[in-house]
Structure 1
Amino acid sequence: MAESRLIQGRYQLLEVIGRGGMGEVWRARDESLGRQVAVKCLKAHGPHHDQSFTRVLRERFRREARVAAALQHRGVTVVHDFGESEGVLFLVMELLQGRNLSQVLEDNKQHPLPVSDVVDIAEQVADALAYTHQQGIVHRDLKPANIVRLTDGTAKICDFGIARLGADIGFTSRLTGTGVAMGTPHYMSPEQIGGDEVDQRSDLYSLGCVLYELATGVPPFDLEDAWSILIGHRDTPPRPPREHRPELPGYLERLILDLLAKAPEERPRDARELVDRISAARFAASTATVAEGAGGSAVLAGRESEVSHRPPAVDRDPRLPSWTRGMTTGHKAAGAGPRDTPPHGVAGLSAAWTAVPSSSESSESSGPVPDPDSDPDSDVVEEPAPVPSRSVVDALAGRHNAALSLGRLGRWAEAGEVHRAVAAERERLLGADHPDTLASRYEIAFTLSRTGRPDDALREYTHVARVRERVLGADHPDTLAARQETAYALGQMGRPFEAHQEYTAVLAARERTMGADHPDTLRCRHNLAFNLGRLGRPEDSYRMAAEVAAARARVLGPDHPDTLVTRYEVAYALGQLGRWSEALRCYQEVADGRARALGPDHPDTFAARHETGICLGRLGRGAEALKVYEDLVGDRSRVHGATHPETLRARHGLGVSLGRLGRWEEALAESRDLCALRERVLGADHPDTLVSRREIAVALGWLGRWPDALTEYRAVAAARERVLGADHPDTLASRNDEAHCLEQLGRGAEAGEVYRRVAVLRQRQAAGGH
């Protein structure tokens, strides 16, 4: 493979970035899309190799491609392509910017990671396992080398080479019968070692082993040979982690030991239960005093020496399966034990901002920090606030990271609570203008925006932007980020003119300091293009979005999610301009690109498919639109559930399509079912529920049942007036519907009165706008 350097005329191999038992991993360039990828190639085995062995390896490789390609989750490595070239199987994956956990431990000289990092990794990996297990897939080789932590802190599971699909039991026996070692000794569950059938709880045991090593610096059975390790997993209780590292929180030790239970039924029931336990523990920790983070549990009484926990080495144990013969331990931890301080200095603090006592200093003995604004010649010397200890700072950083994890899981309200608590502590200990305090307030604003409180978010963003400008400078990236979010909040609040001014100012600063093609500059231009549409300037919106899409395709690649987001906006602007054929083509291309880059079941892929249906309807291609919505309802129901708001939105499109095809009885039945569901799920006065009630009225009108239609139209108008106000455009549209219905019933005088009231309200609205 290395000689050709080019696979299938598309993937240019650049350098080897990893080697393993099954092959090599290369950094490569996808010449078709102009992006960097990782290409895993199965090693070619010569004729001296056992052919059955080679066949199994090839089957495993093909299996990994099939399993991994079916998974679409932020915590699982994305697979782009798979094939065979010149007899060599290859797998094309996203190129991850980060280090696997084995490398992280090596970088840290086998010392344990900070507790906040261990818990963050645990929650992310558990969430990814909950997803893969829900798909019926058991990884079966979870270990530090198969978990990558990206530079932004995201944890991703990779290498599904020996994963087992729940529907394919026979694969296990076919592989084990060849003598291939199914797993890695340090991280194998007792049932794997015994050759028994495994389920998702085996992965939980392996995760427990990984967390044990991250938390203590050593695996649970850090013994001399594979046999001793295997017997340790099968027969010997692990040493409690706090015997290695006394300062570990009690909840983390309990969680790890529960995962390492010998019997599967004694472990957590599934990974989702594990996520809930971690989240609950983190939330509880976030509400405790910061001082708790500085403390630690006492060393357990009656501590035994490590040697007493090691089972004697043996040459053979008849209770172990035959395939374990000849197994080696693989990478072995070499750490001497935990060190007293976190490995990477002060989490979240800039050394230039404040001094922090070293590990040899205690918070009580640390001296005062000079005030940079004080007069050195003044006779009055004020006692400055003491510098917080390293452990306090670390505890705050851990809680901040815990809140970020809650946000990644979509639990914005809980994330906001933790960020508010951390912000208050940081302000008290570090000061209101400290970068870490401002970082917490920025995240508070972000959670407010995500929970439908843009006005509160705007206040927080404005404060953060103002202080960052004073402390860091007007052109600092953090200042510009806060100002850009200020503009976004203004747009959310229906203040597009102010948002436009802010976006324009931020864009000028970003272009001046970062360049026109910097991703942050392009993100700002994207937001500006969207806001132009809000200002009623669809031509300008389309032109700018097209420019940004072209730039992002050049810089990031045509299938990059950011490029596709902007192309989605291009399609939307085309629709606003009435150019529906072009919009349709663009939405279809975005849907195809998202299916490749994000997966067919990703919400963004579904969104593009939905817009495709709208375009088809606008073009009078009702039968095609109906098919799009039927497929979309089925897929959304499968992925999100039958009552998810987006599933119901797809059902709305289906009902509209039935009406466009003249199938009004079916459209009426669909609208009634949908309205009842939306009322139960969203509430009677929710805008989506009212849209469905209006569709009921439309169908009744087409069926000639005007008295019933009038009842529905009036109910919708009354609800909108109550919720939105009498002069809201949606309320006025409903009153027009009411008047039209009155006309159909021959009640012209009443219809004229309603039309007059609507005209007066619109005139007032227009006068107010001027």
Structure 2
Amino acid sequence: MAENRLVQGRYRLLDTIGRGGMGEVWRARDESLGRQVAVKCLKPLGPRHEPSFLQVLRERFRREARVAAALQHRGITVVHDFGEDAGTLFIVMELLNGRNLSQLLDDNRRQPLPVRDVVEIAEQVTAALAYTHEQAVVHRDLKPANIVRTTDGTVKICDFGIARLGHDIGFTARLTGTGIAMGSPHYMSPEQIGAHAIDHRSDLYSLGCVLYELATGVPPFDLGDAWAVLVGHRDTAPAPPRTLRPDLPEPYERIMLELLAKDPDDRPRDADDLAKRLADARHRHPARRAPADPDDTAATPRLPSWTRGMTLGSPAGAARRPPRPTADPATTVLTDTWTGGGDPRGGDASPAVPLASPAPPDDRRAALTGRLESAHALSRRGRYFDAHQCYAEVLADQQRALGPDHPDTLGCRHHLARNLGRLGRLEDCLAMTREVAEARARVLGARHPDTLTTRCELAHVLGKLGNWAAALQIYQQVAAARAAALGPDHPDTLAARYEVGIGLGRLGRSAEALALYRDLIAARTRTQGADGPDTLRARHGLGVNLGQLGRWQEALVEAREVAAARERVLGPDHPDTLVSRRETAVALGWLGRWNDALDGYRQVADARERVLGAAHPDALTSQSDLAQCLEQLGRADEAAALHRRVASLRRQRARRER
């Protein structure tokens, strides 16, 4: 694979961040969603390999994608996409910011990790294994290099390359029949070595090997060659960890030795059983902080590091507004749990009317509200997978307590669906959003503000999937319904009309978009003023569509005026100001005024580098714009030097993020 290659027209490969037996892992940019991801590519293999061998490797790679994509847990790396491009199989995964456990040991000069870190890692990996085993998936290659601890303390299992479903024996037989190594010697269970039946307890043995190494600095059988290591796993009892690490609490030594039992029946029966043993050990012998830590008090129990920064949301006892009489239950606004406490029609929010079952006690409902706020906070911080887990748990409780059609339940489903889109699971997001829109229309009414909000989200997802014709139709219907219910100048009506303009432009109907944007600018000016952010946003849309119609001189005038207004209102370095200044440079380029465009591109690049840093993705994009402009001016040497600088900065950024 080559740097800067565009995979399947979407994923721009930036630089390699890892290599293994099956392939390479690249840091990449998802051009559709504007986020960084990791792309794992199956290495092209030469003709010296037998076709059957290549087929097995390809099947194994596809299997990793299918297995990993089906797993949704905070302790498992998220898989966003999978496919084949020009004969190369690839998997798109979340880009983890952290270190794998092997690297952590290397960072610590192969010395044992602190006991509290070993305990936290053990508990989080155990929780992830409990989930995967419930899905009948056995990892079969658990080792320090396949477990990552991110910068916020979350521990994630990676690389399901040789995982198998518990009921899929035939696939395993086909793979092992090729002679491909099915695991790593230092972490293989005795049953793997002896080719006996393998189940979830094999993963528990491998976890025991990992914990032993974290706690002592060496694997349980640190012998001279691979064969001696395998024989050790099969025939030799490991040295008790406390002979190498005397300060290791005895309960944890006992757990490690139980995990390393030769007979699977002598190990903990499953990951849930292991979790209970770890909790009991923590209770009996807490892993304390270093004495110098001022927070290390007996009265304050230590929470796992991944809980740092989480919020409980609104206080459970917060006062609620009294209900406001309404003649029509179908127009009752949802609780301020997710509407923010404001009625879209301008009044205060009233409590939701229970439609499916009696409301739960106040303390239970308050707890659900607090947990929902925690999910919102995680989503706002970009921790979409953690938010997904939280939303799913709250939804399950709401369905039990309130019923599937209660407005609060539907509100949580709305947010869960939206978060699926942020995770890149657009098809799942589309299906759930459509279901919520239909349910809200049935329960609340087709013109209820919350129904229309979900329909807007449905149109948004359709647009991301490229179905702009359907998206435009929904936006037009929502705009008409809001105009009838709220008035033509209501902010929600104008927001929907702006999205109609986006849809028209995407479908090449720029002449219609121009007329819409002109009306929208007039309405926004009446309600918000000529310099209001939404007024300027509509003017920006007008300029973009002028350009799409080839009316570049008019587009240039509009872009300059909007840039000047945004600089006056928002400041010279505000992101919106810089976007308008870039649009000005684009128009100058189309008019053949490349010297003037060069000044604009340089100003934007300098501002983004000053504000965001040289290695920020937006700053790098601006530097690339500048290099392309230099090429247009025939200044190839300067352009090449700038391209090299961008590539170097991207590599530096990748190294910092590892």
TM-score (ref. length: structure 1): 0.46
Contact 1:76 1:128 in 2 (8 A): yes
- 1:193–1:234 Cα contact (<8 Å) kept: yes
Please name the residue that 2:645 is paired with.
none
Deviations 1:602-643 (A, max 9, x none): 99997995575233333369xxx9xxxxxxxxxxxxxxxxxx
1:225 aligns with 2:225: yes
Q: What does residue 396 of structure 1 align with?
A: 296
SS of residue matched to 2:304 = helix
* 8 A contact 1:258–1:266 mirrored in 2: yes
AA matched with 1:404: P
Deviation of 1:121 after TM superposition, in Å, equals 0.4
* Residue 124 in structure 1 maps to residue 24 in structure 2: no
- Can you list the C-alpha shifts for 1:535-587, whole angstroms capped at 9, x where unaligned? 65765999xxxxxxxxx99996999969x99xxxxxxxxxxxxxxxxxx9997
Distance 2:244 2:384 in 1: 50
- Cα distance between partner residues in 1 of 2:152 and 2:298: 15
- Displacement, 1:46? 1.2
The 1:57/1:531 distance shift into structure 2, 3 A limit, reads closer
Number of equivalenced pairs: 395
SS at structure 2 position matched to 1:224: coil
d(CA) in 1 for partners of 2:347 and 2:104?
Answer: 48
Taking a change above 3 Å as real, the CA distance of residues 135 and 598 of structure 1, as seen in their structure-2 partners, is farther
Whole-Å Cα distance in 1 between the matches of residues 300 and 106 of structure 2? 26
- AA at the equivalent of 1:130: A
2:38 corresponding residue in structure 1: 38
- Give the corresponding residue for 2:152: 152
For residues 550-569 of structure 1, what are the structure 2 equivalents within 5 Å?
none
**Structure 2: runs of 5+ lacking an equivalent:** 323-335, 350-377, 392-409, 452-658
SS for the counterpart of 1:68 is helix
CA deviations 1:264-315 (Å, max 9, x no partner) are: 00000000100111112112224xxx9xx6xxxxxxxxxxxxxxxxxxxxxx
Task: Report the Cα distance in structure 2 between the residues aligned to 1:558 and 1:74, rounded to whole angstroms.
Answer: 10
Q: Is the 8 A contact 1:116 1:398 kept in 2?
A: no
* Aligned twin of 2:162: 162
The one-letter code of the counterpart of 2:241 is: P
Q: Which residue of 1 aligns with 2:209?
A: 209
1:75-133 Cα shifts (integer Å, max 9, x gaps):
11110000000000000001111111011111111001000000110011011001100
Partner of 1:619: 445
Which residue matches 2:262? 262
Alignment-derived partner of residue 95 in structure 2: 95
Q: In structure 2, give the amino acid aligned to 1:618.
A: L
Structure 1 pair 587–207 and aligned structure 2 pair: CA distance change class (3 A): closer
Q: Aligned in 2, Cα 1:553/1:103: closer, same or farther, shift over 3 Å?
A: closer
**Superimposed CA distance per residue, residues 188-230 of structure 1 (whole angstroms, 9 cap, x where no aligned partner):** 0000001112000000000000000000000000111000000
The CA deviation at 1:157 is 0.4
Which TM-score applies when normalising by structure 2? 0.53
Q: 1:594 aligns with which of 420, 425, 439?
A: 420
Matched, 1:272 2:272: yes
CA separation of 1:187 and 1:73: change in aligned 2, threshold 3 A: same
Change (3 A) 1:253 1:49: same
1:50 match: 50
Distance in 1 (alpha carbons) for counterparts of 2:244 and 2:427: 44
Matching residue of 1:84: 84
| Structure 1 counterpart of 2:341 | 534
Cα gap change, 1:137 to 1:492, in 2 (>3 Å): same
Q: 1:598·1:605 contact (CA, 8 Å) conserved in 2?
A: no
> 1:121–1:155: 8 Å Cα contact kept in structure 2?
yes
Distance 1:114 1:606, change over 3 A: farther
Deviation for aligned residue 1:174: 0.8
Q: 1:118 to 1:31 in 2, by over 3 A?
A: same
What is the DSSP-based 3-state SS (H/G/I as helix, E as strand, rest coil) of the residue aligned with 1:231? helix
* Whole-Å separation in 1 of the counterparts to 2:385 and 2:218: 41
Are the structure 2 counterparts of residues 531 and 56 from structure 1 closer, same or farther at C-alpha, using a change threshold of 3 Å? closer
Select which of 299, 314, 318 maps to 1:493.
318
In 2: Cα distance, 1:605 partner to 1:146 partner: 33
Displacement of 1:134: 0.6
C-alpha distance in structure 1 between counterparts of 2:298 and 2:90, whole Å: 40
1:26 and 1:396 mapped to 2: Cα distance?
41
2:118/2:211 contact within 8 Å kept: yes
Partner of 1:403: helix, strand, or coil?
coil
Change (3 A) 1:604 1:401: farther
Shift of 1:15: 0.9
- Aligned pair in 2 of structure 1 residues 282, 7: CA closer, same or farther (>3 Å)? same
Whole-angstrom distance in 2 between the partners of 1:56 and 1:118? 36
Partner SS state of residue 63, structure 1: helix
Match of 1:357 in 2: none
Letter in 2 for 1:534: G
Q: Is the 8 A contact 1:205 1:260 kept in 2?
A: yes
Q: Percent identity?
A: 58
Whether contact under 8 Å (2:213, 2:219) holds in the other structure is yes
Structure number, greater radius of gyration: 1
1:248 is the counterpart of 2:248: yes
Q: 1:117 to 1:561 in 2, by over 3 A?
A: closer
Change beyond 3 A, Cα 1:202–1:608: farther
**CA contact 1:137–1:164 (8 Å) conserved in 2:** yes
> Aligned with 1:219: secondary structure?
coil
User: Contact 1:75–1:125 (CA<8 Å) still a contact in 2?
Assistant: yes
Task: Note the C-alpha offset of 1:50.
Answer: 2.1
Kindly indicate whether the alpha-carbon contact (under 8 Å) linking 1:14 and 1:27 is maintained by their aligned counterparts in 2. Answer: yes
Q: Does 1:284 align with 2:284?
A: yes
Deviations 1:18-76 (A, max 9, x none): 11101000111101011111100000101112222111111110000000011011111
Cα distance in 2 for residues equivalent to 1:162 and 1:194: 17
The amino acid of 1:64's aligned partner reads E
Q: Relative contact order (C-alpha < 8 Å, sep 6+): which is higher? A: 2
Amino acid at match of 2:250: G
1:650-729 aligned at under 5 Å gives the runs none
Give CA deviations for 1:472-527 in whole Å, capped at 9, x if unaligned: xxxxxxxxxxxxx6xx22x7511689xxxxxxxxxxxxxxxxxxxxxxxxxxxxxx
Task: Provide closer, same or farther for how the CA distance between residues 9 and 398 of structure 1 changes in structure 2, counting only shifts above 3 A.
Answer: farther
Query: 2:277 is paired with a residue of what secondary structure?
Result: helix
> Contact 2:3–2:13 at 8 Å: present in 1 too?
no
CA contact (8 A) 1:80 1:596 kept: no
Q: What amino acid does structure 2 have at the position aligned with 1:13?
A: L
**1:138 aligns to 2:38 (yes or no):** no
The CA distance in 2 between the partners of 1:553 and 1:81, in whole Å, is 21
- Flag the 1:541–1:4 CA change in 2: closer, same or farther, 3 A: farther
Asked if structure 1 preserves the Cα contact closer than 8 Å seen for 2:418 and 2:429, the reply is: no
**Over the residues paired in the alignment, what is the CA RMSD in angstroms?**
4.5
Equivalent AA in structure 1 for residue 55 of structure 2: R
Are the aligned partners of 2:83 and 2:90 in contact in 1 as well (CA < 8 Å)? yes
Deviations, residues 336-378 of structure 1 (Å, cap 9, x unaligned): xxxxxxxxxxx6xxxxxxxxxxxxxxxxxxxxxxxxxxxxxxx
* Cα distance between partner residues in 2 of 1:603 and 1:401: 39
User: Aligned partners of 1:554, 1:31: CA distance in 2, in Å?
Assistant: 21
- 5+ residue gaps in structure 1? 294-346, 348-389, 409-438, 450-484, 498-528, 543-551, 566-583, 626-770
SS in 2 for 1:396: coil
What is the SS of the residue equivalent to 1:534? coil
Cα distance change, pair 397–80 in 1 and its aligned pair in 2 (3 A): farther
Which amino acid letter does the alignment assign opposite residue 319 of structure 2?
A: G
